């Protein structure tokens, strides 16, 4: 059941200009996403992947040529998907978290959408703390 709920949520999570169609993305949508992530995915694991996104975000915010820097960092940002697949294979994260993180990374097509990705993962992490 949680997998079906997560798939419905993923279909609604759109970053960039499409964000205007889901004004509750960082509140209600993030809260529901956090609720579908099971105990197998610890706060530590979610924090780990959020921190990876945050490192790239920080590099971009300090760069003078943000667009060029984003293009250089994109392969490394997308490598987060490989890392979450490894964590999933080792039983450290659940299917729902893996699907969510992959979708968020896939939505990160430019600086604006990557900013939204960071904010969304931050909100999911915050809501996951609340449920414990």
User: For 25-63, how does the pLDDT look when each residue is reduced to its tens digit (9 = 90+)?
Assistant: 999 999 999 999 988 898 899 999 999 999 999 999 999
Do 83 and 52 meet the contact criterion of CB atoms below 8 Å apart? yes
Do 120 and 25 meet the contact criterion of CB atoms below 8 Å apart? yes
Region 111-127: what's the mean pLDDT? 95
Do 2 and 39 meet the contact criterion of CB atoms below 8 Å apart? no
Do 131 and 34 meet the contact criterion of CB atoms below 8 Å apart? yes
Total-model pTM:
0.92
Give the separation between CA 97 and CA 30, rounded to whole angstroms. 12
- Each residue of 76-95: pLDDT tens digit? 999 999 999 999 999 999 99
Give the separation between CA 26 and CA 41, rounded to whole angstroms. 20
Do 53 and 113 meet the contact criterion of CB atoms below 8 Å apart? no
Residue 106 scores a pLDDT above 70: yes
Do 14 and 82 meet the contact criterion of CB atoms below 8 Å apart? no
For residue 130, the model assigns a pLDDT of 60
Residue 123: closest CA among 10, 26, 8, 20 = 26
């Amino acid at each position: 059941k949680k997998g079906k709920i997560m798939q419905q949520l993923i279909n609604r999570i759109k970053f960039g200009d499409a964000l205007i169609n889901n004004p509750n993305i960082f509140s209600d949508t993030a809260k529901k996403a956090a609720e579908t992530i099971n105990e197998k995915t610890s706060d530590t694991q979610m924090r780990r992947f959020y921190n990876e996104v945050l490192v790239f975000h920080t590099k971009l915010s300090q760069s003078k040529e943000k667009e060029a820097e984003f293009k250089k960092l994109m392969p490394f940002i997308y490598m987060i998907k490989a890392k979450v697949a490894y964590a999933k294979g080792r039983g450290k994260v659940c299917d729902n978290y893996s699907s969510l993180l992959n979708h968020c990374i896939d939505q990160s097509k430019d600086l604006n959408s990557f900013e939204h990705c960071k904010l969304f993962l931050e909100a999911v992490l915050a809501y996951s703390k609340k449920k414990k």
